[in-house]
Structure 1
Amino acid sequence: MSEHLSGLINDALHLSKDEETSSELKVKLSQTDTNDTALLLESVPIDERVLLWEALANHKKVDVLVAMRDDARIALIEATELEEWEALFIDVEAEVVLELVDSLPKEVLSIAYSAMDRLQKLYFSSAIEYAAQEVGHWINHNFLVLPLNAKVRDGVRLLRRDLPAHTDAIYLINRAGGFSYAVPITKIFSSPEHIHLVDIALEDYPTIHANEACHVAAKQVLLSNYSALPVVSADNKLLGRIDSKTASELAFEYYERQLMAGAGMDEDEDLFSPVRKSAKGRAVWLGINLLTAFLASAFIGVFEATLQQVVALAVLMPIVASMGGIAGSQTLTLIIRGLALKQVTSGNAMALLIKELKVGGLNGIIWALVIGVIAALWFNMPLIGVVIACAILLNIIAAALAGVCIPIILDKLNIDPALSGSVILTTVTDIVGFVAFLGLGTWLLL
């Protein structure tokens, strides 16, 4: 975070207490770009956030809302009177309203729709036919298009107008509006004006289907070596495009969602959301974790007599669980990333499992020997070293097996492995580690 933004946050926290600071802050807000302003509003408690919102110029407010997270913008939307929205939505575009559609009350959404011109309304109606997880919901309609019979001179004439950002090709469509070819701009400027654009077009130009998942489409754009790719409907009608900027945003949002889901949280959660709401959202996963902890404790209880007689086992138990948990989480993270990137398939899953078992076996042997020697010297009991070494080896191998199988199985069941994989993995490694350690301890030490 920049020093400028840090200073604004500190000033904002005193906004309602100091008149002079308030005036200075309003001036600074007018000079702060949209993204920094959004980050500032998300970084302060709700009361100060509303005061800052009221101090913003009207022409910045909608753009700032778009740049904010869903939960964080709710308080600002609720604090804005219904009659104020008409001034805020003047000449609003469909893409902006689509960003806010899940946050706006029906009355405000109606005002936004009325403020759009006929073409923007058409774009909006087309986009909402697709779910927010489908790329058709987020297409950009600002692109260059010509009919199939157009010539190079037509392309040059079109390029002399305002060139949309992230444009490196003109799209050619047939009479039915279907996508046919793409012509690179560089070829247009280096070709005679009288020839047809079809003659210099790229035949195998990649396209994206509107029903494609956003993160898959984003990856396709970012790996395509093009600034944008056309988006087509099921009947190949050209709907728009996804440029590299939008693709980067979609990819970032997807991976942030995966990261937050791993902790049982929503990526849109407000930093200063109400205590009850935050507690409710996290309580579910705390409860699930508690159930798994009780399950692990139940297995430990089976060996209560062993623990009473060999106290050293109780001292060393956390090491067994920790080593298995870390080893499993490393494998789990690798597989979840592979699933997200479509690198893990039924064809290579077995090879990947064998590789991870080998890695687990090698690490298991190395660390089993290290920990076994330390434990034997610590308690002056060679058999303690043997017990924990064997348990560590078994648990790390089990962790590798679980780290590969759990996310693949969850993915087959259409359950997000980032959301629940770590909870299941922890349970598996805890139970395997404790049973192996305490079972071997009972067998060898008693």
Structure 2
Amino acid sequence: MSEFQDLSVQIEQISQAEEAQQPHILNRFIEQGLDASSIALILEAFPIEQRVRLWRELPLESHIEVLTESRGEVRVSILDALSETELRLTLAKLDNLSLIEWADSLPDDIIEEAISLLEPGELELYDQANEYEEEELGRWAERKVIAIPFNISVERARVLVAKYNVESASHIYLIDKQQRFRGMVDYIDLLSADPKARIKQLVLEHVNTLSANMALTEAVDAMERSAFAALPVLDERKRLVGEIDWKFALSTQREIYETRLMAGTGMDEGDDLFAPILKSSQKRGVWLGINLLTAILASVTIGLFEDVIAQVVALAVLMPIVASMGGIAGSQTLTLMVRSMALNQITSGNRFALIKNELGIGAINGLLWAAIIGAVAGLWFQSPLLGGTIALAIIVNIITAALFGVLIPLILDKLKLDPALAGSVILTTVTDVVGFFAFLGTASLVLL
């Protein structure tokens, strides 16, 4: 049974239990090794009142970690239900990274209170993180790493590492007096090395360093290709900022995927499954309004040929086929483009070749399906002219869909807009308008 199947079983067991027993069942799962991200997903599956009750019954040491792993709106739903005393006690437990994670989803007054409760050391780390933009790696790097001088003995290094009191260290970073990165050492190698040897002799080879100004997507790609569980993050002066590990990369990759998945419908990755009805309806209503405007544009195009449709009723029957074929062809190209852009595979050098390739695919599919649909339509309505008309429209629309499936995400990216968010709406409008205009326009010339 997979992890997600286990999770659904656990949610089912909790939901079917009596209210008083639900926290005990959840805590039993935690004792069996349930991690914070899984707990967060379980809490999200319950209405807000039950969610808050379950969170309150969690072990105190897991409260912050579970909230940090939760989506933004889920986190806010729990914090909003707390009393002032509970909220203050919760905020007092925050460290710098958790507060950075929470900052985008909480009101300014709560963030200010949280900052005032941070310990001096955590506040310093928080200020350092805020020197970087939200999409820069330096903002999210784990700054609590073991960093020791690069020119000391192994024996001295062991003494210094012991003072860090880190439970599960995997790597140790070596720095000079200016805090510049000088290498990375495996913790196991340090424990097994000759005490009289120099620590710099244990430096690992082929360790890639990451720039603090690097985009998160690039950092995730670098982490994916790395043979190490963690990589150092350096500023422009090669000073050690912190590290990122595979858990961070995996979590970031998941968030990127969910954001793009939800963006196509105007929703946010942090949206709550049980968000308040009025709030959700307002949020989704805006997107419905945008889609209405694009639908009106397509309807206006159809209205230009009202007389043709009235005389040849078969056109109304066949119009959805033209729009659907163009929409599907365009969405295939758009999906390919969005994925490739996310992986930084699209460059100025390969754009023209990509357009040629997609136009070739569009032409072949257009001709093939135009022949099939034209033949079916001609036999169905006993009209070769009608079959030829829809065949031509299909060819034009599929080729147009392929072209704009490439151009739209490129243009949106130039305008600093997310292609995954707006691309599908614009592309659907283009294929609808072009398809209807080609079909009905040709019909007005040929059939009347």
Per the normalisation by structure 1, the TM-score is 0.89
Cα distance, 1:171 vs structure 2: 2.4
Question: 2:21 maps to which residue?
Answer: 24
Asked if 1:365 corresponds to 2:362, the answer is no
Asked if 1:259 corresponds to 2:265, the answer is no
Amino acid aligned to 1:76: I
Match of 1:268 among 267, 270, 280: 270
Partners of 2:395 and 2:155 in 1: how far apart? 72
Cα distance, 1:413 vs structure 2: 1.0
Cα distance, 1:419 vs structure 2: 0.9
Amino acid aligned to 1:31: R
**Worse overlay, 147-156 or 392-401:** 147-156
Amino acid aligned to 1:48: Q
1:307-318 aligned within 5 A:
307-318=309-320
- Change over 3 Å in CA distance of 1:409–1:240 after alignment to 2: same
**Superposed CA offset, 1:303-356 (max 9, x none):** 112111111111101000000000000000100111111100111111111111
SS of the residue corresponding to residue 68 of structure 2 reads helix
Question: 2:4 maps to which residue?
Answer: none
Cα distance, 1:43 vs structure 2: 1.6
Cα distance, 1:374 vs structure 2: 1.0
Amino acid aligned to 2:420: A
**Worse overlay, 186-195 or 271-280:** 186-195
Partners of 2:389 and 2:88 in 1: how far apart? 73
Per the normalisation by structure 2, the TM-score is 0.89
- Change over 3 Å in CA distance of 1:350–1:107 after alignment to 2: closer
Question: 1:228 maps to which residue?
Answer: 230
Match of 1:337 among 330, 336, 339: 339
1:338-357 aligned within 5 A:
338-357=340-359
Cα distance, 1:404 vs structure 2: 0.3
- Change over 3 Å in CA distance of 1:377–1:107 after alignment to 2: closer
Partners of 2:312 and 2:42 in 1: how far apart? 56
Partners of 2:354 and 2:191 in 1: how far apart? 49
Match of 1:70 among 60, 67, 72: 72
- Change over 3 Å in CA distance of 1:292–1:31 after alignment to 2: same
Amino acid aligned to 1:385: G
Question: 2:440 maps to which residue?
Answer: 438
Once superposed, what is the RMSD of the aligned Cα atoms? 2.6
Amino acid aligned to 2:21: E
**Worse overlay, 147-156 or 291-300:** 147-156
Partners of 1:175 and 1:279 in 2: how far apart? 57
2:100/2:126 contact within 8 Å kept:
yes
1:9/1:43 contact within 8 Å kept:
no
Q: What residue ranges of structure 1 are gaps of 5+ in the alignment?
A: 12-20
Cα distance, 1:215 vs structure 2: 2.1
Match of 2:11 among 5, 17, 39: 5
Question: Percent same amino acid among aligned pairs?
Answer: 44
SS of the residue corresponding to residue 2 of structure 1 reads helix
Partners of 1:107 and 1:325 in 2: how far apart? 46
Amino acid aligned to 1:147: P
**Superposed CA offset, 1:407-446 (max 9, x none):** 0011011111111011110011011111111122122222
Partners of 2:290 and 2:203 in 1: how far apart? 57
Partners of 1:153 and 1:58 in 2: how far apart? 38
Asked if 1:35 corresponds to 2:41, the answer is no
- Change over 3 Å in CA distance of 1:320–1:70 after alignment to 2: same
Cα distance, 1:145 vs structure 2: 2.6
**Superposed CA offset, 1:285-317 (max 9, x none):** 211211111111111112112111111111101
Amino acid aligned to 1:251: Q
Question: 1:95 maps to which residue?
Answer: 97
Partners of 1:328 and 1:389 in 2: how far apart? 17
**Worse overlay, 178-187 or 348-357:** 178-187
1:5-404 aligned within 5 A:
5-11=11-17, 21-33=18-30, 34-88=36-90, 92-104=94-106, 108-109=110-111, 112-113=114-115, 116-152=118-154, 165=168, 167=170, 169-183=171-185, 196-199=198-201, 201=203, 205-404=207-406
Cα distance, 1:155 vs structure 2: 5.5
Partners of 2:195 and 2:12 in 1: how far apart? 55
**Superposed CA offset, 1:103-122 (max 9, x none):** 44556545644554443232
Q: What residue ranges of structure 2 are gaps of 5+ in the alignment?
A: 1-6, 31-35
1:166/1:227 contact within 8 Å kept:
no
1:155/1:170 contact within 8 Å kept:
no
